[in-house]
Structure 1
Amino acid sequence: MAEIGGIRCGCRGVSGGTFFHPGGFSCFLEQRATRNRNFFRNVSYVPSFKRGRLITKRSSVAGNSRIFSMDAREKSRSFVLVSSRHKKVPVYVMMPIDTFGIDASGCPIIKRLKALTVSLKALKLAGVHGVAVEVWWGIVERFCPLEFKWSLYEELFRLISEAGLKLHVSLCFHSNMHLFGGKGGISLPLWIREIGDVNKDIYYRDKNGFSNNDYLTLGVDQLPLFGGRTAVQCYEDFMLSFSTKFEPYFGNVIEEIGVGLGPSGELRYPAHPSGDGRWKFPGIGEFQCHDKYMMENLMTVASQEGKPQWGSRDPPSAGCYNSFPSGVPFFEEGHDNFLSDYGRFFLEWYSGKLICHADAILAKAADVLRRRQEEEKRSVMLVAKIGGIYWWYKTSSHPAELTAGYYNTALRDGYDPVASVLSRHGAALHIPCLDMADCETPEKYLCSPEGLLRQIHDVSKKRTIQVTGGNTSERFDQMGLRQIRENCVQPNGETVRSFTFFRLNEKIFRVENWNNFVPFIRQMSADV
């Protein structure tokens, strides 16, 4: 078990990689000198910048524009993956955002139960494969540590099963209160919030001191701040309780289990907080590492590197939430930019912490599922979700991805380390924005959802993992549904493992929308 800055890291050492060393920064330090000498080895181009784009004068000798991706040495240990060639694409419809509410006494309830029952029957008649349900930490373990109350989900799962629908379950360790302006939604457990009232550093914090209480900072993953438990132990106890309660559903009703890894359940930092007015599209976002636990770790690692001055803060010339890349020195040609020794050091640390976070939680989730499935011979797919950060994708630095924690640039494949961790734990990769096309995005913001999807498909094939997906925007129009279909089915006949439609609400049953939605479901259910 490697040590990173005095905090025990759950990573088991992702193989290969020029930059990424999740096994610890001792290896990172030893290889720094060699890596600096070989930074442009096998590369015969000289990069230059023009309005934020990377212009190359000659191509790589290796014939690969993404020269800093990790080695393909690791074989998948998945026990649930099957070929996705020439398969139907099961469609899950996500439950309404306000399925659950809090009554006057502060207790969680299922809202509009009768209407929900009718809606489930209609979805089944339309040919929908199943529904996706968010299982909230803030509902089940709401009042006291280790007191799990599953009654709401027992009732809901029974209704879904009786309707003849399958289940994709998302275990949610985040809050969605920002979607309701702080006046509704599901918070983190109340006992977690009480700890946060005393110690705000259990949450992510930006350079101006603003904290984000939608998800615990990964800086507390291995710290026993929660009644003697670490954050990872809290997540593990929740997953164990869930598997014990709903094991009879595994494999016959519950087919996929998504594990929350960050804000909105996605493996990323909350670099683009849209709910409180700090950020709006297409801002590059800000690095989120200013809680005291992350900063202590950064200082320790920088000191080990022999550069203590690198550990005092995030890059000082990285702009603000709503900056554009042009004119921001860190993301262009400035001193200590993203290609400098300092820039590479910081981005390796920042993205590496995120990978370690995923590795620790997915290891626990995979162990829980493996035990259940070996005992009962039932197959459930483990799923991890990433963010679809597609704006500024065509720039050299990919700044919006860097602030979110994906060390993905024109010179480095930042999704390969993620896919490698998922492969080791037998997890599928879920990506949103399958409803999007480049031509529908503002050209001036250098967006490319299609380029991002191609990259995800490439790394998933390399690491032998399945891909699942969803839509980012609510789409009922024929063009949007056609784009989803095209993104779900590759030209070679390979398909995504499943698709989650966001989301169930009254709009879906309007005549004009329903008349588009039902044929879409029938097409997705037909053999490719």
Structure 2
Amino acid sequence: MLAVLSLLLAGAGAGAAQAAPADGPVPPGPVALDNPKFSANVMAPLQVTDWAAFEAELETVAAYGVDAVSVDVWWGDVEGAADNRFDWSYYDRVFDLITSKGLDLAPILSFHQAGGNVGDDYTSLLPSWLWPKYAGVSYHGIQLGPTGLQHQSEQGNYSAESVQGWADQVVTDEYRDFTEAFEQQYGDVYADEVVEVNVSLGPSGELRYPSYNQHDEGTGYPSRGALQAYSPLAVQDLRSQMLHQYGSLEAINRAWGTDLASVQEIGPPVDADAFFAGLDYLDTQYGRDFVDWYNGSLVEHGERVLWTVIGSLGEDFPEADIGYKVPGIHWSMTNPAHPRAAEVTTGLIQTSVDLDSWATGHGYQRVVELANRFDGGPREVVMHFTALEMDDDPVEPAYSLAQTLVGWIGDYAYRAGVELKGENALAGGVASEEGWDNINEAFETWGYLGLTVLRIGDVSSGTGARRYAEFIATYSPDI
């Protein structure tokens, strides 16, 4: 069983330890200081409706040194009317306004739904033609049907917020077509102004499963969430991977202590509540194998989509890195009933490794090292991590180690040689002095190299504007 106390002790020592033991923290320090790779960005609204206010905000943040504006390029808005019919008129206007103020662009290829998540004030569904287009397709012997591209949860519900990773090879051409259309529209016009292309890898644009989203009941913060591995494609992949790993059903039964009569009996937990309440995900070979597969599937999905985008961009936007976002799933971490369970259901951690160890990234090693799978490729891949503004709250009901988690990720990214940038998770965090103090600590201690603030309106006046201006003046080599 995972030692909750040791989690707390590891987190408590993270901020202060400098002379680290063999498996202690390795605080990188302020690597962003006068670093030419430092970036200070802001997020645009999900959809601009007040153009005059947006223009004024752009002028404000440009004046105190913001570098670029991150803009969601919604798949459902651009290609929603019909397959391979693209409408870029909104983005023509947005990009022109941003660059006219001397700011660069950090577009997000948003292959996910807007609406239904915390802070969403705009709705853009995935293209309506997508689901019926593939309903009649058979993939790996499975007839997809109308929900065949969607995640299916332990509750039996389907999520239409993004395409499940187990269907990547079915829809690769859709991601490629959209990226190539974006490149053809803007590759010449904004060749130098696009400094990073971020890629949506799941709900809210994050590398995760929709484990706490609205298609399920009772799974929101601060619950453990719900597993999302019950679609026919997911179950088939689990069976295939376990057979590949062990070689035979007999070997699987020996490892798991089971008496499965056929491969068809291999599957995700039949009783997910018992799987977590009994700590099977930590203490049994089946549980660790399942979680490893679940986490590995997510990382492999990220790799496939990122390579697709990198290949589709070709040599356009020559200065642009590729970014992916990992959410700070900070709750339920110290819950004695099921420690670290929310991170498991979102797919972010393994449980076959030592979750108390700095050497394993406290379970995050594969998610962080996704960036290194592109070493030697044509683009540098950068990881973004959220929750930089948050405090620890390791008691009921949150059981949160948000600030500790920021340190864990910074430490492991440094060990792995991964370029790491950060974001705030909630807009209110950049309206408080304490939130900015936490952001500063992340940069001073844990090696974060850039900041993207959610959203521009929260740093165009008041505390947010003052503290962001001070932050930029500290780290930017150009200020």
What is the letter of the counterpart of residue 168 of structure 2?
A: D
What is the letter of the counterpart of residue 96 of structure 1?
A: P
TM-score normalised over the length of structure 1: 0.71
- Structure 2 partner of 1:157: 95
CA contact (8 A) 1:52 1:332 kept: no
Change (3 A) 1:53 1:257: closer
Q: Distance in 2 between matches of 1:283 and 1:176?
A: 23
What is the letter of the counterpart of residue 177 of structure 1?
A: G
Q: Distance in 2 between matches of 1:200 and 1:348?
A: 25
Tell me, yes or no, if structure 1 residue 411 matches structure 2 residue 366: no
Tell me, yes or no, if structure 1 residue 349 matches structure 2 residue 298: no
Change (3 A) 1:180 1:51: closer
Q: Give SS of 2:367's match.
A: helix
Deviation at 1:118, TM superposition (A): 2.5
The 5 A counterparts of 1:266-285 are 266-273=206-213, 278-285=218-225
Change (3 A) 1:240 1:513: closer
Q: Give SS of 2:94's match.
A: helix
Q: Give SS of 1:188's match.
A: coil
Q: Distance in 2 between matches of 1:362 and 1:185?
A: 25
Q: Give SS of 1:353's match.
A: helix
Q: 1:447 aligns with which of 400, 407, 428?
A: 400
Q: 1:502 aligns with which of 428, 445, 454?
A: 454
Q: Give SS of 2:406's match.
A: helix
Q: Distance in 2 between matches of 1:372 and 1:509?
A: 32
Q: Distance in 2 between matches of 1:55 and 1:113?
A: 49
Report which of the two has the higher share of helix: 2
Q: Distance in 1 between matches of 2:397 and 2:119?
A: 30
Q: Distance in 2 between matches of 1:90 and 1:515?
A: 17
Deviation at 1:52, TM superposition (A): 11
- Structure 2 partner of 1:400: 342
Change (3 A) 1:419 1:50: closer
Tell me, yes or no, if structure 1 residue 206 matches structure 2 residue 170: no
Q: Distance in 2 between matches of 1:340 and 1:176?
A: 38
- Structure 1 partner of 2:434: 479
- Structure 1 partner of 2:369: 420
The 5 A counterparts of 1:229-378 are 230-248=170-188, 252-273=192-213, 278-302=218-242, 305=246, 306=249, 307=252, 308=262, 311-319=265-273, 329-331=274-276, 334=279, 336-369=280-313, 371-372=315-316, 378=318
Change (3 A) 1:53 1:383: closer
Deviation at 1:206, TM superposition (A): 1.0
CA contact (8 A) 1:289 1:314 kept: yes
Q: 1:114 aligns with which of 52, 73, 76?
A: 52
Deviation at 1:354, TM superposition (A): 0.9
- Structure 2 partner of 1:129: 67
Identity over aligned pairs, percent = 25
Q: Distance in 2 between matches of 1:182 and 1:433?
A: 17
- Structure 1 partner of 2:79: 141
Deviation at 1:466, TM superposition (A): 0.6
What is the letter of the counterpart of residue 469 of structure 1?
A: G
Gaps of 5+ in 2: 11-20, 26-30, 136-144, 253-261, 375-379
CA contact (8 A) 2:40 2:68 kept: yes
Deviations along 1:15-72, one digit per CA (max 9) or x if unpaired, are xxxxxxxxxxxxxxxxxxxxxxxxxxxxxxxx6767997999xxxxx95489xxxxxx
Q: Distance in 2 between matches of 1:436 and 1:180?
A: 16
Change (3 A) 1:246 1:315: same
What is the letter of the counterpart of residue 367 of structure 1?
A: G
Deviation at 1:205, TM superposition (A): 1.3
Change (3 A) 1:510 1:277: farther
Q: Give SS of 1:201's match.
A: coil
Deviations along 1:174-197, one digit per CA (max 9) or x if unpaired, are 001214999951110121254588
Deviation at 1:248, TM superposition (A): 2.8
What is the letter of the counterpart of residue 406 of structure 1?
A: L
Tell me, yes or no, if structure 1 residue 456 matches structure 2 residue 409: yes
Change (3 A) 1:404 1:234: same
Change (3 A) 1:279 1:132: same
Deviation at 1:445, TM superposition (A): 3.8
Deviation at 1:95, TM superposition (A): 0.8
Q: Distance in 1 between matches of 2:23 and 2:119?
A: 46
Q: Distance in 2 between matches of 1:289 and 1:472?
A: 26
Deviation at 1:446, TM superposition (A): 3.3
Q: Distance in 2 between matches of 1:402 and 1:520?
A: 34
Change (3 A) 1:524 1:186: farther
- Structure 1 partner of 2:112: 174
Deviations along 1:486-514, one digit per CA (max 9) or x if unpaired, are 212337xxx42321111133x65555654
CA contact (8 A) 2:46 2:120 kept: no
Deviation at 1:433, TM superposition (A): 0.5
Q: Distance in 2 between matches of 1:196 and 1:278?
A: 31
Deviation at 1:147, TM superposition (A): 1.8
Q: Give SS of 2:45's match.
A: coil
Deviation at 1:443, TM superposition (A): 6.3
Deviation at 1:357, TM superposition (A): 0.6
Gaps of 5+ in 1: 1-46, 57-61, 67-82, 100-110, 223-229, 320-328
Deviation at 1:300, TM superposition (A): 3.6
Change (3 A) 1:65 1:271: farther
Change (3 A) 1:251 1:476: farther
Of the structure 1 ranges 134-143 and 455-464, higher mean CA displacement relative to structure 2 is found in: 455-464
Q: Give SS of 1:131's match.
A: strand
Q: Distance in 1 between matches of 2:332 and 2:129?
A: 39
Q: Distance in 2 between matches of 1:340 and 1:360?
A: 30
CA contact (8 A) 2:155 2:216 kept: no
Q: Distance in 2 between matches of 1:462 and 1:277?
A: 39
Deviation at 1:480, TM superposition (A): 1.4
Q: Give SS of 1:289's match.
A: coil
Q: Distance in 2 between matches of 1:129 and 1:182?
A: 24
Q: Give SS of 2:174's match.
A: helix
Change (3 A) 1:404 1:93: same
Deviations along 1:312-365, one digit per CA (max 9) or x if unpaired, are 54224432xxxxxxxxx534655x443312112211221121121111111122
TM-score normalised over the length of structure 2: 0.78
Deviation at 1:162, TM superposition (A): 0.7
